[in-house]
């Protein structure tokens, strides 16, 4: 609108100058055109002197929550930038669609501006944020210069945190037949080991003597509490690229399996193929932070790729070895199927897996 008005005024002055043959008006028009040219050149200069950076508030964020991204603009010239605009491109790795946000601001001469933008990730995975281009206006905001920018950052989007429901049917390891264990006079259960106090342990289970000696809160674990080892395998092999919804559901279900086991106080191990070592990497899982770290690590490594480097033989050999050692083996694959040993427990759907997690209860035996 401003350019239109200025052009209209110049045309009017040019008409008047020709109508009245006024040299002073022609000089004014010429000077004004030179001034506009200088402004146009200034806008190009300011665009080159403006440096753009972008960084997330944190490098991990839960799906559906808000991630704050800080954009910094440093003006290396003495002329203030009255207005600039930066296009942010936001997308999850492995998807073709990207969200675009426009951020505008002001930067004083030789100064720096910091502007925050909020992003709500919709899928699990690696969230990539980069600046495409920046537009910079001169002080009168009549002309702008633009330049390509290459500032970028990443953040890992982890699952919301669903929990599957499990229960153990068989007797735990180390437990004798205790049909009459509640009868008066029966000896208390044998202590299996002493471990660091965990939230949920009762006061009667605290080993007060060792706690006083060591200065660290310790609790007793009884033989009746020692359960069969559980191993969860995340089978990341894919025959074709997964859709964002499939990736999202897979990571949510992987988290839900481990979270459900921990809810029943079943510590376990998680296994996943590691392309860097060419072996199945095993991660101990004793708390929710361990699950989060495991999921985020696999997401960072792009575990869900077509060329992930291991065969059916490698997978079967590991599963058979675990079974021979007496472990309970669970497997979650990229087709959203949960197996107990080789038995299919459930086939989750991509759209309704959250509701299915709440409804189903699985027996581990």
Cβ atoms 104, 15 nearer than 8 A: no
Per the document, the length of the chain is 365
Alpha-carbon distance of 218 to 154, in angstroms, equals 40
Alpha-carbon distance of 365 to 363, in angstroms, equals 6
Share of the chain above pLDDT 90, in %: 32
331/16: higher pLDDT: 331
Q: What is the pLDDT of residues 99-144, one digit of tens each?
A: 889 999 999 999 999 999 999 888 888 899 999 889 999 888 888 8
Query: What 8-state DSSP symbol labels residue 340?
Result: E
The pLDDT assigned to 191 comes to 59
Integer CA distances (angstroms), 342 to 131, 281, 323, 348, 362, in order: 48, 21, 11, 16, 15
56/219: higher pLDDT: 56
Its pTM stands at 0.70
Residue 181 banded pLDDT, cuts 50, 70, 90: very low
The pLDDT assigned to 315 comes to 79
The pLDDT assigned to 182 comes to 43
Among candidate residues 216, 203, 301, 304, the one with its CA nearest the CA of residue 252: 304
Residue 174 banded pLDDT, cuts 50, 70, 90: very low
Sorted by sequence, the CB contacts under 8 Å of residue 70 that are 6+ apart come out as 54, 55, 56, 57, 114, 115, 116
The pLDDT assigned to 184 comes to 43
Pick from 4-13, 204-213, 244-253 the range whose average pLDDT is largest.
244-253
Residue 309 banded pLDDT, cuts 50, 70, 90: low
Q: Is the pLDDT of residue 222 over 90?
A: no
Q: What is the CA radius of gyration of the chain?
A: 32
Alpha-carbon distance of 171 to 60, in angstroms, equals 40
Q: What is the pLDDT of residues 25-37, one digit of tens each?
A: 777 778 878 888 8
**Angle (nearest 5°) at CA 72 between 69 and 78:** 165
Segment 208-217 shows an average pLDDT of 78
The two three-digit tokens of residue 292, written as one number: 């989060």
**E-assigned strands of 120-243?**
125-137, 144-148, 152-158, 165-168, 191-196, 218-222, 230-235
């Amino acid at each position: 609108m401003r350019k239109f008005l200025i052009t209209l005024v110049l045309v009017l002055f040019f008409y008047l100058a020709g109508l009245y043959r006024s040299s002073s008006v022609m000089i004014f028009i010429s000077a004004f055109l030179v001034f506009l040219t200088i402004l146009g050149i200034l806008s190009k200069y300011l665009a080159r002197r403006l440096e753009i950076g972008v960084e997330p508030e944190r490098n991990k964020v839960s799906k559906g929550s808000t991630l704050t991204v800080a954009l910094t603009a440093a003006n290396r010239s003495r002329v203030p930038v009255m207005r600039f605009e930066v296009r942010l491109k936001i997308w999850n790795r492995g998807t073709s669609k990207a969200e675009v946000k426009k951020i505008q601001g002001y930067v004083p001469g030789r100064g720096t501006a910091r502007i925050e933008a909020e992003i709500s990730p919709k899928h699990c995975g690696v969230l990539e944020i980069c600046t495409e281009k920046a537009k910079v206006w001169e002080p009168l905001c009549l002309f702008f210069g633009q330049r390509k920018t290459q500032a970028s950052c990443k953040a890992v989007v982890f699952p919301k945190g669903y929990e599957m429901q499990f229960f153990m049917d068989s007797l735990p390891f180390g437990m004798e037949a205790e049909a009459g264990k509640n009868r008066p006079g029966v000896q208390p259960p044998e202590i299996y080991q002493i471990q660091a106090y965990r939230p949920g342990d009762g006061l009667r289970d605290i080993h007060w003597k060792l706690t006083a000696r060591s200065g660290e809160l310790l609790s007793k674990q009884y033989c009746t509490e020692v359960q069969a080892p559980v191993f969860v395998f995340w089978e990341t092999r894919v025959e074709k690229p997964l859709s964002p919804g499939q990736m999202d559901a897979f990571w949510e279900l992987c988290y839900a399996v481990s979270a459900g086991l921990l809810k029943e106080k079943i510590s376990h191990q998680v296994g996943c193929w590691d392309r860097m070592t060419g072996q199945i990497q095993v991660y101990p899982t004793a708390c929710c932070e361990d699950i989060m770290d495991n999921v985020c690590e696999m997401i960072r490594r792009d575990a869900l790729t077509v060329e992930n480097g291991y065969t059916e033989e490698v997978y079967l050999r590991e599963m058979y070895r675990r079974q021979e050692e007496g472990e309970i083996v669970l497997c979650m694959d990229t087709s959203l199927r949960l197996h107990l040993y080789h038995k299919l427990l459930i086939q989750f759907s991509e759209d309704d897996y959250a509701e299915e997690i709440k409804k189903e209860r699985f027996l581990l035996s």
